[in-house]
Every structure is written in structure tokens, then in C-alpha cells.
A = this chain, B = another copy of it.
Amino acid sequence: MIAIVKESATNDQLQHFVKWIEGRGFRTNVSRGENETVVGIIGDTTQIDPFLLESMDIIETVRRVSEPFKKANRKFHPEDTIVDCGHGVKIGGGNFQVMAGPCSVEGKNLIEIARCVKDAGATMLRGGAYKPRTSPYSYQGMGEKGLDLLLEASAELDMPIVTEVMDPRDVQLFVDKKIDVMQIGARNAQNFSLLKEVGKTKTPILLKRGMSGTIDELLMAAEYIMSEGNENVILCERGIRTFETRTRNTFDVNAIPVLHHLSHLPVVGDPSHSTGYTRYVRPAAYAATAAGADGLEIEVHNCPQEAWSDGAQALTPAQFADAMKRIALIREAVTADLDKE
């Protein structure tokens, strides 16, 4: 960490500051420039709040030099982490997986959709039983019954399931039922009570980036889970909030290579929430794959009989099947060893 001292600071003030820092167990390195003096603070600076230093009278600004996350940091763990999601499905480190299924578990049609997505090449089944909804008047999900429907489908098709947990009080239920992967949604990306609670389990966690979460905050959320003992974390870029309103969110496709650069954890793209409109889901899914994602989470819904309700951002099974073929080709294009050819 580096503190830039104001030109106006007296030598005494500077000495006082350096002593104060050293009194907290850090080493320092003082360098005098033309217009300002820089104090390097050496040691485990994850403990220091940079805003605190910046509030001091003689300090101009403070810059972090090292990342505030450790367990999620590629620097201290250079090889890719591979997360085992159960049913023989692994993600990360060269393993690419597609999680597909309906936004919400609605009933018996789940098994039908599950079969469609499996036939098209999906290896994991997604579906929401507990639904975070902006309005208290909107449908809040089937709850425990929804979990049971997911487990039935999982057993019948031998696929791991991914489903959201919203409340720390529900975590034990998810563990007891042996849910394969627990999802933390964007709205709970800084719900630290929930992050700690799932950190105490061994269940793999699909951790979504918050709507206005920075990449560093996503990694700090992962750190919360990992620091409790659960290192099975899969990161998910699902679009961020910007000024653009033509799509539901802005898909930050850059985040995929950035996360790979900073962390060893697997990174998944969610083209459904990143766009919000069926017509843009496939281009976004291709983009995520091309950018090097380790997997995708895609909403798929079948409703040939009820033409109007395929969900604002869901693909039909036919659209999904077409997409899966192109996704495989793109994955090949970006991972091929071109020198060999």
C-alpha cells in the first residue's frame, strides 16, 4: 500500500505518520519526489482501510498495491481450480459445462425441459425454487417442492442441479437434500451472512456478480466463502448495471478474461440475464464462449402449447440445440492448438 503525503506536511508530521504505521506492525519506505513524498507500507495491508489513511490531514491519497483477496488470488494458487459438481461433472481447468433449464421450476414440465437440454448437450440442470423478485407481489417460487422436483429430474437424468439459495436459514435444508450446486444470486452478492453460511458447507457454490459489483468485489465475495473453508466456488458474470437501457443489463464480457487473469476459480457466463431478451441470448452466449468462459448458464423453456409465455429471455429447445452446436465450434476455435495443425 502506498500513501502519498501532501507537500504541505512538515517533517515532524511525516515522522509521526511513519511511526504510527510502524506501530501497527508494518515496515515503511519513504521516497521524496518533486511535489510529494510517497510512503510505501509493507506487510499484510489487507487489514488497513485506505479511506482511513486518506482522512488524515497530511495524506493526499492512498493506493493499494496488492489485491485484497488471497485465497481466490491466482498469485498464490497459479493452477486453475477444477470444481467437482457431482454426477461426474467437473468445471474449470479445461472442462467446459453448460447449465440449462427454466428460470423457475413450475411443475411437471421440468423433466421435459431437462430432457431437451440434456439431449442438446447440456451437462447440468438449472432451475429456481426460491426466487428473488423485485416486487413482493410477484411469484416467489415453489420453495421446497421445487427442490424435490429438481432432485427427481436429477436422479432420472443423472445430471447435477444448480439452484439458488436466498436465506441463511435455508442452507441446511439444501445440504440435507444434497443439492449439487447452490447458487448465490446477484442481489445477495454482498449478503455476508449468507456467504459465510454457505462457506461452512462443502457444496459447490455458483457465485453471481452483483448488479453493480466490481470484479474485485466479486472476488472478495468468493473470499468470504473460501475463508470459511469452502473452496468450491464458481464465479459467474451475469451483466452489470449501466446507463444503457436497450438491454436488461450490460454483459461485461471483459470480466471473463480479467477474472481468469486474477483468479484460479472457474468462470461462467450467463447470457440470459446479461441481455434480458431472447433475441440477444445466443450472440451473448457465443461471445462468452469466445472470451474463454469455462461454462454457460442459459435459460431454456419449452412451451409449444402456450406460444406466449416462453419467458422474456428463455431460448426454446430448438434455439438451444442450434446454439449448442455453434458453442462447441467456438470453444474449439479458441482452445485449438494452432501450432500443431
Question: Residues on A close to B: CB < 8 A?
Answer: 2, 4, 7, 17, 20, 29, 31, 33-36, 38, 40, 42-44, 46-47, 49, 51-56, 60-61, 63, 65-66, 68, 75, 132-138, 166-169, 187-188, 190-194, 196, 210-212, 214-217, 220, 223-224, 227-228, 240-248, 250-258, 261-262, 274-280, 283-284, 286-292, 308-314, 322, 325-326, 329-330, 332-334, 336, 338
Contacts and interface: CB of A to CB of B under 8 A. Distances in A.
- Where chain A touches its partner, the secondary structure class is mixed
B311 A132 contact: no
Contacts of A54: 277, 312
A341 B210 CA distance: 41
B336 A329 contact: yes
A44 B241 CA distance: 28
Contact of A56 (B214, B308, B330, B332): B308
A54 B188 CA distance: 27
Contacts of A257: 279-280, 283-284
A220 B337 CA distance: 44
B55 A227 contact: no
A17 to B, nearest CB: 8
Contacts of A211: 212
Given A192-B166, A242-B242, A333-B330, A313 B223 contact: no
Nearest to A322: B338
B187 A253 contact: no
A42 to B, nearest CB: 4
Report the 7 A-B pairs with minimum CB-CB distance, sorted nearest first: A212-B212, A51-B312, A329-B333, A286-B290, A290-B290, A29-B31, A187-B190
A243 B242 contact: yes
> How many copies of this kind of chain does the complex include?
4
Contacts of A4: 65
Contacts of A42: 31, 33-34
Contacts of A220: 134-136
Contacts of A243: 212, 214, 240-243
Contacts of A255: 244, 246
Contact of A63 (B2, B224, B313, B333): B2
A56 B49 CA distance: 29
A110 to B, nearest CB: 19
A18 B262 CA distance: 26
Nearest to A47: B137
B334 A332 contact: no
Contacts of A274: 254
Given A40-B31, A286-B290, A134 B338 contact: no
A144 B134 CA distance: 31
Contact of A55 (B20, B66, B277): B277
Contacts of A224: 136
Contact of A7 (B75, B246, B275, B334): B75
A77 B75 CA distance: 44
A244 B168 contact: no
A134 B217 contact: yes
A127 B261 CA distance: 29
B65 A36 contact: yes
